[in-house]
Amino acid sequence: MKLNENEKKLLEEVKKFSENKVKKRAEEIDIRAEFPSDLVNDMINMGLFAMYIPKEYGGLGYSLSSLMETVRIISRYCASTSLILDVTVSLFAEPIIQFGSPELKSKYLANIAKGHIGALAITEPSTGSDAVAIKTTAKKKGSNYIIDGMKTFITNGKEARYYLVSAMTNPSMRHKGMSLFVVERNFPGVRIGAEFHKLGIRGSSTTEVIFENVEVPEENLLYKEGEGFRIEMETLNVGRIGIASQAIGISEGALKDIIEYVKTNPKIREYNQFKIADMINKVMSSVRNYEAAVEYSESGKNSPTLSSVSKLSAGDNAVDVTTTALSILGVKSFDAQYPTERRFREAKITQIYEGTNEIQRLVIARELIRNKESFLET
Ligand SMILES: Cc1cc2nc3c(=O)[nH]c(=O)nc-3n(C[C@H](O)[C@H](O)[C@H](O)COP(=O)(O)OP(=O)(O)OC[C@H]3O[C@@H](n4cnc5c(N)ncnc54)[C@H](O)[C@@H]3O)c2cc1C
């Protein structure tokens, strides 16, 4: 990872914050399913919401590497806390950085840099993997669009001030009829529905968000009508690297804990040394794939394959690594005093959101068979 001196300094602060504060709070955040407002305020004060936002919009203009490494470090202790930041920046701010008009950038990026929370709202009750099958519509009326529909399983649903919402502007055109809109929480007609009680990442809110006759000014259309699906896919190319960094952080946390545990128990250490070797092998292969995806993306190129491979390997390996850690703990694996059972529950989501790992396999195979991948030639 290529990091400049300022980025390295900030990552040292992130390590201290994670080891001193996040670690202590992680268990109660999980048990109480509590949104960690204190840690979010700390992240805002440290500049973590501002780090990736360009300087001209009030940010620090730091690299993708430094954002991804931040998510990885915090995830070693609490994947809910890292997710709140990751979704706001990678899924809400990133598409505005890439495709927003100067007005959208000035208005929303500056607020994200100050610590406002954002969300990406794609999934609906009737569709997840098939992002084109959405029923939410946006109809032009004068200088506004009227948005109607319901989104579900939206991360940051409760705390977000802004949602980037997918809606059909021309349903008969399928993916070429989809558009994205920035919708503010306080626009009349926006309502938060049910909140989900989850298996893991319980400190991050996941809710329904309902849009009833919501008037959205036409300036809040991101880029152009009909470009929503393409922007969504490009956004997920970056977002999936963020999930890889989260999954790697979870795996590294599990590995570190288990090494400390076996040091205190020579018999268990002897029985399980091969399992520990397999764990580190999996973590290191995830790290290689993730670093390759970050580097390629930072070189200004776009590789759906590399980003899908990074998510696929890191997610599957996180589930394997945390499962192995549980087996080494034996009966203690069911004891919530040991963070491993929480990490196991956190790991599972990295195989599901931002496209399930089955969908990542589809993307990888399709892209390679169509021979669209220039990274194979380098
Ligand atoms: C905690 C959490 C947070 C989330 N946050 C967000 C968010 O912030 N914003 C948002 O928009 N969404 C969010 N989601 C939704 C998430 O992205 C979807 O759950 C995910 O894309 C899968 O969709 P689905 O659950 O409807 O699965 P389905 O599409 O119903 O798939 C069910 C199963 O079939 C498989 N499958 C489906 N289609 C295919 C195919 N073509 N080929 C092979 N296998 C296939 C899937 O892999 C899966 O195993 C979140 C979900 C969770 C659980």
372 C-alpha vs ligand 1 centroid, how far in Å? 25
Candidate list 27, 354, 358, 367, residue with the active-site label? 354
Angstrom distance (rounded) from CA 272 to CA 261: 11
Residues 90 and 101 in one domain: yes
Range of the domain at 316: 230-377
How many C-beta neighbours within 10 Å does residue 332 have? 13
Instruction: Decide if pLDDT at 375 tops 90.
Output: no
Residues 223 and 126 in one domain: yes
229 C-alpha vs ligand 1 centroid, how far in Å? 16
21 C-alpha vs ligand 1 centroid, how far in Å? 32
| Domain stops at, among 228, 243, 278 | 228
Name the packing angle between helices 228-263 and 266-298 (round to 10°): 150
Residues 56 and 96 in one domain: yes
pLDDT digits (tens, 9 = 90+) for 240-296: 999 999 999 999 999 999 999 999 999 999 999 999 999 999 999 999 999 999 999
Return the CATH number at 64: 1.10.540.10
Instruction: Write down the pLDDT at residue 302.
Output: 79
Return the CATH number at 141: 2.40.110.10
Residues 206 and 336 in one domain: no
Residues 11 and 56 in one domain: yes
354 an active-site residue? yes
Residues 359 and 248 in one domain: yes
| Domain stops at, among 167, 194, 228 | 228
Give the CA count within 13 Å in the CB-facing half-sphere of 349. Answer: 22
Top mutation candidate among 353, 361, 362 for ligand 1, by most atoms within 8 Å of CB:
353
| Domain stops at, among 194, 228, 262 | 228
How many C-beta neighbours within 10 Å does residue 201 have? 29
User: For the chain, how many structural domains are there in total?
Assistant: 3
Residues 288 and 151 in one domain: no
Q: Which pLDDT band, with edges at 50, 70 and 90, does 220 fall under?
A: very high
Residues 142 and 197 in one domain: yes
Return the CATH number at 255: 1.20.140.10
What does the pLDDT average to over 201-230?
98
pLDDT digits (tens, 9 = 90+) for 104-134: 999 999 999 999 999 999 999 999 999 999 9
Instruction: Write down the pLDDT at residue 246.
Output: 98
Please give the number of the atom of ligand 1 that sits closest to the Cα of 357: 47
